[in-house]
Structure 1
Amino acid sequence: MRYRRPGLDWLSHGLLGLCCLLFGLPVWLAVTASTHTLGDLYSQTAPLGFGDAGLDNYRELLGGAVGGLGTDVTTLLVNSTLMALGIAVGKIAISVLAAYAIVFFAFPLRRLCFWLIFITLMLPVEVRILPTFEVVADLGLLDSYAGLILPLIASATATFLMRQFYLTVPPELVEAARIDGAGPWRFLRDILLPLSKTNLAALFVIMFLYGWNQYLWPLLITNDADYLTIVVSLKRLLTSADGLVPWHYVTATAVLAMLPPIGVILLMQRYFVKGLVDSEK
């Protein structure tokens, strides 16, 4: 049911437009500033229009090392994408198997196992950063994709969400699969995973953004420029030997850093929304 109140509609649309302006203005300023030269940015206020540099700043960033990065932004984008994909896929795989075991297998202390997993929500990466770094260093995983991904692939949040979904599966469906001769792996592969595809899509978007926005862990374990991520490199661009911040490169890198997450959200938007709000998954 929709209420027809013209005054309220105008107010709602006005607030929506104001919010869009507040959120979109910084992005627009970054896009326009990335097309100006460094001299233009230091000689005037933040530009609202496009500059004469055009795509030159982007070509320089994607084609070679600039601003003291030690590598090109293409490598940074690849590193960030591999890290985010590895974290998202790893978290989903572990959470699916853990939730499946907790819900559908009867073994001693399974409730305790679930609560032990759930309690780890109280221990974010920052709290366990030193012991995790020591373990990764002892295993020789510094400056490697495995070191970037493996310590972050366990997720109590994803396990909890998948467990809650599996609890809604009717017992009759489990019994019917057992009568048809479906074993545990076949039941998981042919029944549970297709039923939970919207939930998995929503989790993938959330976990991909979580992996993409990681800053502290990549900063701590990477010294080789070939393994830097684009989020960490943005901070490095803000420092320069001559004291002038290369804002044309900073803004261009920020724009490039936004593109993969935006692409994932646009591609998975329908499944993401359905997985969060649709009761008939």
Structure 2
Amino acid sequence: MAREITGMVERRGLGLWLTHLAMIAGVLVIFFPIWLAFVASTVTQPEIVRPPMPLWPGDQLIENYTAALFSGVNVPVLSMLGNSLIMAVGIAVGKIIISLTSAFAIVYFRFPGRNLFFWLIFLTLMLPVEVRIVPTYEVIAGFGMLNSYQGLIFPLIASATATFLFRQFFLTIPDELAEAARVDGASPMQFFWDILLPMSRTNIAALFVILFIYGWNQYLWPLLITTDPSMNTIVMGIRQMFPSGDDVADWPVIMATSILAMIPPVVVVISMQKLFIRGLVDSEK
């Protein structure tokens, strides 16, 4: 018996090492292009275009990142980062607020056709922004929201997926909890604010991370809704930095801009990592 246990431990130890080696190899494969982009953002233009490309950072980090932050094709990158941040936070917060309140109404209020309304919301999953982009543009233009943060945010804050997830979570909460709150004299909004919101904290955090990245990576809608360069987002700015015709690309500045564009999503994911993982696990339960 002792020999069998020793063999199992040895096999488990070997499997553990192989698993870690495979994970390290995967991380290196994913990280290597990011490392090359960072290296390219710290060297000069001739060092990039002349092979072989350097694999270690150069001495132009401050110069290239300063040029990226305070200059650009049409507008400084710092301004575009601010536009993207406002848009991403607005979309994430708007989606969560609307999804929470709509799921709360569908689960805890009895009104005719509530299941029909839920399935109508759910069916909008089959209509992405690209399908309804022309009528949506006409509505936003009619309200005078072109070249504005409202135009960037409002058409994208409805989320059938988030509504569905919050609805499923609310359905797992015992009815006795709502009944006890009602007996204690709590109003529906007090029950929502004091009980449901704290219980939904991890789910909100997980959805915020996903929705923030969704809003940060938007390209087509900002490209359509904005004509003023001062409203450009960072994703639009990177695309505009690529040369057209016989122009020469300033690759160090482009790579520096790409690295800067990755920083806010990475900061959000790292800062909310524990809540994000816990929210996904709780959602599966």
Structure with the higher helix share, 1 or 2? 2
How far apart, in 1, do the equivalents of 2:201 and 2:17 lie? 38
Match in the other structure for 1:31: 38
Of the three residues 196, 207, 215, the one matched with 2:211 is 207
**Residue identity matched to 1:153:** I
CA distance, structure 2, for counterparts of residue 128 and residue 183 of structure 1: 38
Tell me the residue number matched to 1:253: 257
TM-superposed CA distance for 1:280, in Å, is 11
| Counterpart position of 1:182 | 186
Deviation at 1:139, TM superposition (A): 1.4
Contact conserved, 2:203 with 2:283, CA < 8 A, in 1?
Answer: no
Distance 2:52 2:138 in 1: 46
- Across the aligned residues of Structure 1 and Structure 2, the Cα RMSD in angstroms comes to 1.7
Per-residue CA distance 1:215-274 (angstroms, 9 max, x = gap): 110111111111000011111011256421221111101100000001111111111111
Structure-1 separation of matches of 2:66 and 2:284: 47
Q: Does 1:162 align with 2:169?
A: no
Q: Per-residue CA shift, 1:186-213, capped at 9, x if unaligned?
A: 0000010011111111111111011001
State the Cα distance separating 1:278 from its structure 2 match.
3.5
* CA displacement at 1:54 relative to structure 2: 2.1
User: Quick one: distance in 1 between partners of 2:233 and 2:283?
Assistant: 38
Question: Aligned letter for 2:42?
Answer: T
Q: How many pairs are equivalent?
A: 277
If the length of structure 1 is used for normalisation, what is the TM-score? 0.95
In structure 2, the partner of 1:12 is 19
Question: Residue 171 of structure 1 aligns to which amino acid in structure 2?
Answer: D
Larger radius of gyration: 2
The structure 2 residue matched to 1:219, chosen from 215, 223, 237, is: 223
Aligned-pair identity (%): 55
Q: Is the 8 A contact 2:169 2:283 kept in 1?
A: no
Gaps of 5+ in 2: 1-7
Residue 279 of structure 1, CA deviation: 6.9
C-alpha separation in 2, matches of 1:232 and 1:117: 30
Say yes or no: does 1:113 pair with 2:117: yes
Alignment of 1:121-160 (within 5 A): 121-160=125-164
Task: Provide, for residues 154-199 of structure 1, a one-character-per-residue CA deviation record: whole Å limited to 9, x for no partner.
Answer: 0000000000000011010010000000011100000100111111
Residue 52 of structure 1 deviates from its aligned partner by 2.4
Change in CA separation of 1:243 and 1:45 when aligned onto 2, cut-off 3 Å: farther
TM-superposed deviation, 1:51? 1.4
Q: What amino acid sits opposite 1:162 in the alignment?
A: F
User: Are positions 1:80 and 2:87 aligned together?
Assistant: no
Q: Is 2:200 the partner of 1:196?
A: yes
State the 4+ residue runs in structure 1 displaced beyond 3 angstroms: 278-281
